[in-house]
Structure 1
Amino acid sequence: MKIFDAIKIREADETTISRQGITSGELMERAGSEVFLWLKRKFPDKETVFHIFCGKGNNGGDGLVVARLLHKDNYKAVVDIVEGTGTPSPDFSDNLDKLSECGLACNTNEVYEYKKHKIVYLDAVFGIGLNREVGEEVRAVIEKINNSGAKVISIDVPSGMFMDRKTELAVQSDIVLTFQFPKLAFYLAGNCRFIKEIEILDIGLDKEFIGSEATHYHLTDKAEAHRRYRPVPHHAHKGTQGHALIIGGSYGKMGAALLSAKAALRSGCGLVTAYIPKCGYNILQTAFPEAMALTDGEEQITNISFDFKPKAIGLGMGMGQHPETQQALLELLKKQQSPLVIDADALNIVSYNKEWLAHFPENTILTPHPKELERLIGPWGDDFEKVEKIRAFAKENNIILVAKDAFTLIAFDDVVYINPTGNSGLATGGSGDVLTGIITGLLAQSYPPADAAIFGVYLHGLAADIGVCDVSRQAFTASDIIYYLGKAYLTIEAEKAQK
């Protein structure tokens, strides 16, 4: 799904109005109606009180439409017009008149009674157009909403959030009902505290415009994941499903290589060989009998040599940064043309020797966590600069950069895909090793590198989303990701079958 900036979203609105022969007010009515219908499905109990905070711009106009429709449907709606939100827009003023005509007054300072958990605050103060810091009047309203203890739902954007720069204060939304497109700002680490859940409402913007306009940013929604998924052919056997090589491990850190190897096989590839130091041989052969093993060195890898051509190689997990290991990595990079996934210690070694990037095969996949990413691309001022640096680094070096975070970013060929699956259960040791194994296993099955990265990250997060429902976020471990990969695949197959 495409992610557009505020300028393109306004163009989409204008194009829709022109091509569909409607007014901006009618488009506002359409947007407000979609919010109302969503609320009606979510809160069928007419005892629910909706307290709607409206700015004086078009986002506030959307809120007024919602208030009117709730009132007409016999819900209790209370409306506050927030001062300090600018000059009223024409469509806001029109909808304020309609609200008055239907008998619903604003800013009544009404003290209302409601049952526990039957109060919803609707935030319609600012939308995508906010370009200045909010004043004291608005700040007081935002803080009131955030401290209310009520269920908080924002219309289109949490008020106070900027679309193109760092946000310091915004409404902390339980749910954001955003129109037509996801917004880049929603998925940046610094904004996670403002949004718990996102729902994208289709308001019928012009499909031709959406399809023809280019963008640097995309969300990996279900349709995108399904398009990149490759089911196992009915005639497949282990020789046709690809052979993955996992290189890693050292004394005390064999678990990392073991997790990656297990994840590679569970992703669907036919064969897995683990290249490990000798101290890990008994561990691997005991804990993972499905894998083959090659060994080198006693406590760390000192030389990398094998006599077969793997379909894909994942390396670095628990490998350490011993000087002999670093030299072995360099020699491998100089001669290896199999698709590569580079993680952990191998990433850190490369970050200290950036000239080695020249030895990477085209579309090599790098999977750094935030600190590894900083070592690789340098520091950034805010999340927006981080995204731009990720995109530029991937393009400049002709690689695929999987920047792991609360929402993982996958950058390649001047575009960035944002992954929406996953949760804080993944904040546990070894989850990144599992991701490297999954992506390597998909590469071994002949997934194109970009597909392996995008689908692999999606699958990894989906397994966590399914798994935490059984075992909780607190008790979730990296091994659980591997266990729930099967259920993640079954979920995807069931969704595809329903189309």
Structure 2
Amino acid sequence: MKIFNAAQIREADRLTIIRQGISSGGLMERVGNEVYLWLKNRFPDKETVFHVFCGKGNNGGDGLVIARLLRNDKYTLHLTIAGENTPSPDFAANLEKINREGIPYNTTTEISSYGKGKAVVVDALFGTGLTREPAGEYKGIIEKINNSGAYVVSVDVPSGLFLDRPTGFAVKADEVLTFQFPKLAFFLPGNYRYINKMHIIDIGLDKDFINDTVTGYYFTDKFEAYRLYRPVPYYAHKGTRGHVLVIGGSYGKTGAVHLAARAALTSGCGLVTALVPQCGYVPLQASFPEAMVLTNGETHLQEIAFALKPAAIAIGPGMGTDEETQQALHNFLFDNKIPMVVDADALNILSENLQWLELLPPKSVITPHPKELERLMGTWNDDFDKIDKLKAFSKKHSVIIVAKDARTLVVNGDAVYVNSTGNAALATGGSGDVLAGLITGLIAQQYTPADAAVFGVYLHGLSADIGVAETGTQAFTASSILHYLGRAYLQAESSCQ
């Protein structure tokens, strides 16, 4: 699903009005009705008390439509209109309807008592066109909303949130009902506190505009992810499914290789070999009989050499940063042309030897967590600066970056993919090793590195979404991802039938 910026969203609205032969007020009525229906379904109890807050722009006009429909449906309504600015024409037209129907509202900063339990705030103060920080009366209302204890639903965006720059103060929404497209700002770490859940409301914007308009940002929902899925041919055998080599491990850290190797095999590749120090031989052979094991060195890798010809390589899990291992990595990178996924300690070594990045095969996948990413490309001023630097780094070094976070980004040059799956259960040791192995296994099965990164991240998160319902967040481990990966694949398979 494409992610558009504010200017593109305005253009989508404009063309929809022209091409569908409706007025801007008619589009506003459609939007308000869709939100009202969602609220009615979400809060069917007529004892629910709705507090609707409207600015005087078009987002506030949406709020007036919502308020009118809720009141007509016999919900208890408290409507507040804020601001002394000139109302937009569509807001003014909807305010006339409010007045004609005798729906009371106030224009003060005083907010009636919320109480607890069934109070719901509908935030329609500001939309995507906000250009400056909320101040004065608006700031006071946002503070009262955030401190109210009520359940907060924001219309399109949490009021105060900027789409194209850092946000300093905004409504903290329990749920955001955003129109037609997700917004990039929703998925950036600096804005996590403003958005608990997001729902995309289809308001029927022009499909030709959506299909034809170019963007560099994409939201990987199930429809996008499952288009990448490649079913296993009925005539497949282990020799046609790809061979993965996992290189890593050091004394006390061979479990990372085990997780990555198991993930590669569970992803569907045909064969897995692990190259580890001698100290990892018995643990791997005993705990993972499906894997073949090569060894070098006693407690850490001293040389990276092998006779086999793998289809893809994962390097770094548990590898350590011993000087001999660092030299072994350099020597290996100098000669290797096989597609790679670079993770963990291999990234830490590269961060101390940035010139070695040029030795990576083009379109290698790197999988840094935030601190590893900072060591690789330096600090950033804010989330938008971070994205700019990710794109520049990806293009400079011809790598695909899996920037791990609560909302993982896959960056391939100017293309940025925001993952839609996953939860806090993935915040556990070994989760990244599983992801590295999973992506490598997909590459071995002839997914392009970019598709493997996007689809692998999606499956990784989906496994956690499926599993957490049974295990709970706290008891979920990296091995749980592997346990539930099959169910994630079943969902992909069912979508292709």
TM-score for both structures, normalised by structure 2: 0.97
Give per-residue Cα distances to partners, 1:363-411, cap 9 Å, x unaligned: 1000000011111111100001001110111122211011001100101
- Report the 3-state secondary structure (helix = DSSP H, G, I; strand = E; otherwise coil) of the residue aligned with 2:402: strand
Aligned to 1:320: 320
Give per-residue Cα distances to partners, 1:237-279, cap 9 Å, x unaligned: 1111111100011001111111101111111111110110000
- Report the 3-state secondary structure (helix = DSSP H, G, I; strand = E; otherwise coil) of the residue aligned with 1:294: strand
Aligned to 2:438: 438
Is 381-390 or 349-358 further displaced after alignment?
349-358
Aligned to 1:78: 78
- Report the 3-state secondary structure (helix = DSSP H, G, I; strand = E; otherwise coil) of the residue aligned with 1:196: strand
- Pair 440,138 (structure 1): closer, same or farther in 2 beyond 3 Å: same
CA displacement at 1:7 relative to structure 2 = 0.8
CA displacement at 1:469 relative to structure 2 = 1.0
- In 2: Cα distance, 1:165 partner to 1:111 partner: 33
CA displacement at 1:103 relative to structure 2 = 2.2
CA displacement at 1:441 relative to structure 2 = 0.7
The alignment covers a number of residue pairs equal to 495
Aligned to 1:42: 42
Percent identical pairs in the alignment equals 61
- Pair 311,110 (structure 1): closer, same or farther in 2 beyond 3 Å: closer
Asked whether the 8 Å contact 2:57–2:87 carries over to 1, the reply is: yes
The reply on whether 1:282 has 2:314 as its aligned counterpart is no
Residue correspondence of structure 1 range 159-174 to structure 2 within 5 A: 159-174=159-174
Aligned to 2:149: 149
CA displacement at 1:333 relative to structure 2 = 1.2
- Report the 3-state secondary structure (helix = DSSP H, G, I; strand = E; otherwise coil) of the residue aligned with 2:64: helix
The reply on whether 1:188 has 2:188 as its aligned counterpart is yes
Residue correspondence of structure 1 range 25-424 to structure 2 within 5 A: 25-83=25-83, 86-107=85-106, 117-424=117-424
Unaligned ranges ≥5, structure 2: none
- In 1: Cα distance, 2:88 partner to 2:325 partner: 65
Asked whether the 8 Å contact 2:392–2:413 carries over to 1, the reply is: no
CA displacement at 1:432 relative to structure 2 = 0.6
- In 1: Cα distance, 2:141 partner to 2:430 partner: 43
- In 2: Cα distance, 1:206 partner to 1:343 partner: 42
- In 2: Cα distance, 1:31 partner to 1:131 partner: 22
For 1:137, the aligned partner's letter is E
**Alignment RMSD, CA only?**
1.4
CA displacement at 1:111 relative to structure 2 = 5.2
Aligned to 2:22: 22
For 2:105, the aligned partner's letter is C
- In 1: Cα distance, 2:416 partner to 2:48 partner: 41
- Report the 3-state secondary structure (helix = DSSP H, G, I; strand = E; otherwise coil) of the residue aligned with 1:8: helix
Asked whether the 8 Å contact 2:133–2:168 carries over to 1, the reply is: no
- Report the 3-state secondary structure (helix = DSSP H, G, I; strand = E; otherwise coil) of the residue aligned with 1:87: coil
- Report the 3-state secondary structure (helix = DSSP H, G, I; strand = E; otherwise coil) of the residue aligned with 1:3: coil
- Report the 3-state secondary structure (helix = DSSP H, G, I; strand = E; otherwise coil) of the residue aligned with 2:71: helix
- Pair 111,11 (structure 1): closer, same or farther in 2 beyond 3 Å: closer
Unaligned ranges ≥5, structure 1: none
CA displacement at 1:48 relative to structure 2 = 1.4
- In 2: Cα distance, 1:136 partner to 1:468 partner: 43
- In 2: Cα distance, 1:228 partner to 1:275 partner: 30
